[in-house]
Amino acid sequence: MFSAADKVWELSDLRHNILRFLGIKNVVPLLTVDQTFFQYAVERIYENYRYFNYKATNRKFQDSRRMSIYRDAVRTLNLNDEYDIPQPPTEWLYLFTLFPNARTITRDREHLHRFSIDGTPKYTYERSQILQLVESRMEWDVDDSRNLPKEGIEGWTQRTLVHLYFFSQYLPNPMLEEKRKTDLYTLLRDHLTPSHVIPYRVSLDVGWGTRQLLDLIRHPKILSGSVRLEEIFSWQIDQDLVDMLHSQVNTIRIMRLIRPVNDIQPYGLTDLMCKLRWGEFRNLRELHIKCDRYITPTSSAALDIPQPVSHAAPGYGLIHLQITIYYPDGPPLSSEQMVEEKKVIRGFARCIATLCDPQKLPWHPPWIECRFKARCGDDEYERVNEILQEVFVREVRGCLSLGEDGQS
C-alpha cells in the first residue's frame, strides 16, 4: 500500500521542484537511501553537468552501468574549461549520442539546443555577442567568425543574440545634443543585416536618447519582430522609454530603469504608475527601478488604481524586485501628506501585484525603499520609510489574497 508521500515522489514535476528546493548539497545523501531514491538524486545532481567533471568520473568508474545512468540524467552539458573541444559547433553533435537525453550543450556564450519534429532531430545554435560603441562606430567585442558553422546545413538553424551596449564617457551638453541626433539604424545596419542577428539586450547611458532606440525599432527597414529585447537597462525615464517598453512587452524579462544621481528625469513614480501597462508584462522576472517622487498638490488625485483582476500565472512572475523612490528635499511628510502618500504607495503596489505569482513572491521583501535627500539616516525619515514599506508589502499581499487586506 502506497502512502501519500510515495505518491508525491511519483509525480515528476513535483519531485523535481522539491529536489531543486533542497539544493545539491542536501540531495547527495539520497544516493545511499535505496535504488529508487538513488535514481531521483541522480536526476537532480546530473541534470546540469560539466563535461570536465564527467571525464574525471569516467576515469574512476570506467564506463560502468553507473556511468550510463549518470549520462542518461544529463539535460544540459557544460563545456566550459574545455580547450580541446572541436569547432565549429556542428562538431559537437557526437556529444548528443554520448548523452542521449541532453537537450542543450553550452560553452561560455554559445548554446546548442536539440529538439525533435515528427521524430526528426533538429538543432538551433545560439551565440551571444556584445556590439559596443567605440568612439563613433560600433564594434563586436570578439571576432569568432572563423568558428561559426556554415549556413544551409539541413536541420540546423542559427542566430546571434546581440547586446547593444551604448555606454560611453560623459560629454559636455553641446556634444551630447549632437550625439542624440545620431541615427542608430545607420550606425548599426552593417552589423544587423543577416536575419539571424537578433538584438535581445540593450544598455543606454545618459548620452543616448530613448527616442533613438524607439526609432530604430520602428525603422521601416527593420523587419517586424527582428528586435526582440529581453533585457533593458536605461538611465532615462520618459515617454519614449514607455513606448519602447510597450513595443517589446511580450519578450522583456529584465527591466532596469535607473535615474542617475542628481539628474532630473521627465517621469517620476506617478508617471510610471499611470503610463505603463503593467499587466501586459507577463514574462517579466526582474524589475529594478530608481525614480523620483515629484510631490504636487494634486499628485495623487488621479491615482485611484483599482485592485488587479489578474496576476502572473503560477510558475511565472517576478523573482527579483527592487524599488528605490527618491523624495525631494525638505522636512518629513506631514500627517496630511502621509495620507496621500499611502494612497500613492498602495496604487503602486497594485501595479506591482499584477506581475507577481501568488505562490512564489519575489525574494527579500520589503522590496521598496523610500529615500529622503534631507537627512539620510535621521530617525524621523526612517520611520516614514518603514511605514510606507509596510503599506506597500501589505497591499501586494492583499491583492494576491495572501491573508492581508491591504488596509493601513
Range among 14-23, 220-229, 359-368 rated most confident: 359-368
Task: Please determine, for residue 101, whether its predicted confidence score (pLDDT) is greater than 70.
Answer: yes
Q: Take residue 15 and report the three cell numbers written for it.
A: 519531485
**pLDDT for the residue numbered 194:** 63
The DSSP 8-state label assigned to residue 136 in this structure reads: T
> Between 191 and 347, whose confidence is greater?
347
For the beta carbon of residue 401, count every other beta carbon within 10 angstroms. Answer: 10
Lowest-confidence region among 175-189, 237-251, 287-301, 388-402:
175-189
Position 31 in a domain? yes
20/16 Cα distance (integer angstroms): 6
pLDDT tens sequence across 14-46:
677 777 777 777 777 777 777 777 877 888 888
Q: Are 70 and 57 in contact (CB under 8 A)?
A: yes
Beta pairing, strands 156-166 & 137-140:
unpaired
**Percent of the chain whose pLDDT exceeds 70:** 78
Return d(Cα 42, Cα 36) in angstroms, integer. Answer: 10
Q: Which residues contact 328 (CB under 8 A, 6 or more apart)?
A: 292, 293, 294, 295, 373
DSSP string, 175-232: HHHHHTT--HHHHHTTTS-STTEEEEEEEE-TTS-HHHHHHHHH-TTSPTTS---SEE
Dump pLDDT digits (tens) for 252-279. 999 999 887 666 678 889 899 989 999 8
Residue 224 has pLDDT above 60, yes or no: yes
3-state helix, strand, coil in the chain (%, to 5): 35, 20, 40
- In whole angstroms, give the CA distance from residue 295 to residue 330: 11
Across 147-154, average pLDDT? 66
Residue 35 forms part of a structural domain: yes
Q: Which three cell numbers stand for residue 153?
A: 546545413
- The HSE-up count of residue 352 (CA atoms within 13 Å, CB side) is 30
Q: Is residue 23 part of a domain?
A: yes
For Cα atoms 199, 202, 205, give the angle at the middle one, nearest 5 degrees: 150
Q: Is residue 34 part of a domain?
A: yes
Domain that holds residue 36: 1-45
The verdict on residue 106 lying in a domain is no
Amino acid 313: pLDDT: 67
Q: Mean pLDDT, the chain, as a whole number?
A: 80
Q: Which three cell numbers stand for residue 120?
A: 526528426
Which is more confidently placed, 251 or 313? 251
pLDDT-above-90 percentage for the chain: 24
Quote the CA–CA distance of 154 and 171 in Å, as a whole number: 50
Nearest Cα to Cα of residue 36 among 8, 16, 9: 9
Residue 106 is predicted with a pLDDT of: 92
Contact 316, 357 (CB under 8 A): yes
Whether the Cβ atoms of residue 116 and residue 122 lie closer than 8 Å to each other: yes
Any domain includes 200 = no
* Residue 358 in this model has a pLDDT that exceeds 70: yes
Q: Is residue 344 part of a domain?
A: no
* CA–CA separation, 345 and 63 (whole Å): 61
User: What distance in Å separates the CA atoms of residue 188 and residue 203, rounded to the nearest whole number?
Assistant: 15
Mention every residue, 6+ apart, whose C-beta is less than 8 A from residue 68.
Answer: none
Handedness of CA 104, 105, 108, 111 (dihedral sign): negative
Is the model more confident about 174 or about 313?
313
Please report which confidence band the pLDDT of residue 348 belongs to, taking 50, 70 and 90 as the band edges: very high
Lowest mean pLDDT among 10-19, 78-87, 300-309, 396-405: 300-309
Cα dist from 157 to 72, 92, 111, 228, whole Å: 26, 15, 12, 17
Q: What pLDDT sits at residue 345?
A: 94
pLDDT value, residue 195: 64
pTM above 0.85, yes or no: no
Q: How far is CA 71 from CA 9, 20, 67, 338, in A?
A: 22, 19, 6, 61
Confidence of residue 174 (pLDDT cuts 50, 70, 90): very low
The pLDDT assigned to 77 comes to 94
| Residue matched to cell numbers 519575489 | 362
Distance CA 94, CA 170 (A): 49
Residue 25 lies in a domain: yes
Of 163-167, 262-266, 294-298, 329-333, give the lowest mean pLDDT range.
Answer: 294-298
Q: Which helix (H) or strand (E) holds 363?
A: none
User: What pLDDT shows up at residue 260?
Assistant: 72
Total count of domains within the chain: 1
Helices 65-73/51-61 angle, 10° precision: 160
Beta carbons within 8 Å of 3's beta carbon, 6+ residues apart: none
Confidence (pLDDT) at 210:
80
